[in-house]
Structure 1
């Protein structure tokens, strides 16, 4: 049996996340305390007690989900045959497969969250979920909406067959939602997000993170990591570095990632971190595989 370990991204956070783990597992608790030391503020208090509005801010959401996922993974003694993470989750996956240290990854995740939040303020945009249309139909809707508004809207997350998230300027995203409904989408709705993630509106975050990513120490991982940018496996540190940066401006190819993992032998998929979002996406993408999770 080949085990694929999956790590969630933004949207899986909730007030109280990680509290039970912290209280019940001394090994995990060490990671929470270490994170507070590294960051210089009490992240676990935001995770455990909120308020929700603060936890939902990208600069706190990203390190919170990363910390929960990694601290939990470290308690599992898991054997990973392959790993992947959804957007931010790619950093958790890199720690899980031994490519990046916990300390280095936490610092860069914190910086990524700050930069993405700032990019969302400086280049206001939004995202929308489109359900019940195939990928090509959604891409065409985005092209049409971009042409009609002269503003960018693109596919941002290929989550599972029939479920895409689009991203771009508000006016263009709203137009794409309208067109998707006209073209038979079962549902198309704006999402409560702080920016147009995985689109060119994140260029300031890309520019801001580039230098830090170039300095990041990346080792050869213990197993292949599947990149959001390519949906392909790699163990090459320089490819990993390049993929992490390109991920900011390009779509998360999650459907393609799951299909590729399965084609390469994965028959057991384990989600590690808050929530069960990825388990649901595996269920809607692959047939005849084992699906489980640790929260």
Structure 2
């Protein structure tokens, strides 16, 4: 599908956008765009099939052996892809995926490229073994945090080889940032009732000394501390879930404060991450990404790292809207290392404004599928709609059958 793109915001406009509270960015981004409020529109005859999105998972879904079933079922496709992965990285990542141990696979520098590589392998199997034409069957692509790289590959903005190297290099810096601090750091998810969400976020901002709406770009009390001691809202995942990143000690102090004085008692779940992603501690990774994305593609001589335009819109984690230009994509992909992942806002936008009705998660794990399903309904919410996940060959067959059955189903 071809789509029309508005003139992209200037660097000063982008800085202004990021200085706003996360909750206000999307609305401001839309209202100030010189184009219509639609982020893309087709220049061809409208299709009768439901609008379809594919999405990809972030860190935490990795497991030893997550490519085994695919390699066994489709060796002629998967094994050459696995060889390419190892050749591009100059070490045997696929051996770590296949054999572990789990502690080695879970290390950030291995987990991130492993998840991205597995996601793309699954997509290529769908295309080559099942005849799934991504460009024709999909309207938009997105990825949760790390999954944004797989989404950019699927959407035609990044070459596989470049994306894999970028993810590995970024992950190495992220892991080093966490190892070098003399402070326990990590991530904790907070789950509350949906109608308590905004008051809880306000209480978090109040504790951190942010402005009433809160923004990482504001200069207030928490930002005056060393990066290792700061706390940030790393992800807004659902209408009842946020993830905090940073100093575990400070996060626990924050929880005590909002429980005692804020009138909130969220359920807190420590995530299996030894790095506070999307926090100020990840600033060196953002700088690295900015540098790497300004260089030519290592895999395509004489070409830019980013292909523009892509084959379909791809949603940014930073703005919760489609990338609008090559430079904006580079900026947002770098800033995504330290900025809040606006996942919930992206799903609401696609569901309510762009009328996406079919959602297909591609990659290991079910976390992304569950988050999307909470917002839009797993199945039956609208005619022809549904949320599916493909992490095994058996699931691939079932999901593609369901897509065929709903191909001509549209809302009345």
Give the TM-score normalised by structure 2: 0.68
In structure 2, C-alpha distance between the alignment counterparts of 1:138 and 1:113, rounded to whole Å = 31
Which residue of 271, 293, 299 corresponds with 1:191?
Answer: 271
Query: What is the rounded CA distance, in whole Å, between the counterparts of 1:11 and 1:180 in structure 2?
Result: 27
| 1:72 aligns to 2:134 (yes or no) | no
Aligned position for 2:31:
none
1:23 corresponds to:
72
Write the mapping of 1:29-40 to structure 2, written as runs, cut at 5 A. 29-40=79-90
Q: Which moved more, 1:238-247 or 1:282-291?
A: 282-291
* More strand, by proportion: 1
Aligned partner (choices 99, 103, 107) of residue 161 of structure 2: 103
Q: Which residue in 2 is equivalent to 1:57? A: 107
1:104-253 matches, within 5 Å, as 104-123=162-181, 124=183, 125-133=185-193, 134-147=196-209, 151-182=229-260, 183-215=263-295, 216=297, 217-219=305-307, 220-253=309-342
Q: Is 129-138 or 158-167 further displaced after alignment?
A: 129-138
Matched, 1:10 2:88: no
CA RMSD of superposed structures (Å): 1.8
Q: How many residues align?
A: 295
Q: Distance between the aligned counterparts of 1:267 and 1:210, measured in 2?
A: 35
Write out per-residue CA displacement over residues 49-81 of structure 1, whole angstroms, 9 at most, x where no aligned residue: 110000110000000000100011112223220
Contact between 1:28 and 1:71, CA under 8 Å: does it hold in 2? yes
Residues 130-171 of structure 1: per-residue CA shift (max 9 Å, x gap): 001544233233334334986522211111110110112222
* SS of aligned partner of 2:294: helix
1:268 to 324, 340, 358: 358
In the alignment, the residues of structure 1 paired with residue 54 and residue 178 of structure 2 have an alpha-carbon distance, to the nearest angstrom, of: 30
Deviation at 1:180, TM superposition (A): 4.3
Change (3 A) 1:180 1:286: farther
TM-score by length of 1: 0.94
Structure 1 unaligned segments of length 5 or more: list them.
none
Aligned to 1:291: 387
Q: Give the deviation of 1:181 after TM superposition.
A: 4.0
The alignment partner of 1:171 has SS state of: helix
The residue matched to 1:74 in structure 2 has which SS? helix
Alpha carbons of 1:221 and 1:204: their partners in 2 closer, same or farther (altered >3 Å)? same
**CA offset at residue 172 of structure 1?**
1.6
Q: What are structure 2's unaligned runs of at least 5 residues?
A: 1-49, 127-131, 210-220, 298-304, 392-412
State the secondary structure of the residue aligned to 1:188: strand
What SS does the aligned partner of 1:41 have? Answer: coil
1:80 and 1:31 mapped to 2: Cα distance? 23
- Is the 8 Å Cα contact of residues 198 and 251 (structure 1) preserved in structure 2? yes
Kept in 2, the 8 Å contact 1:17–1:47? The answer is: yes
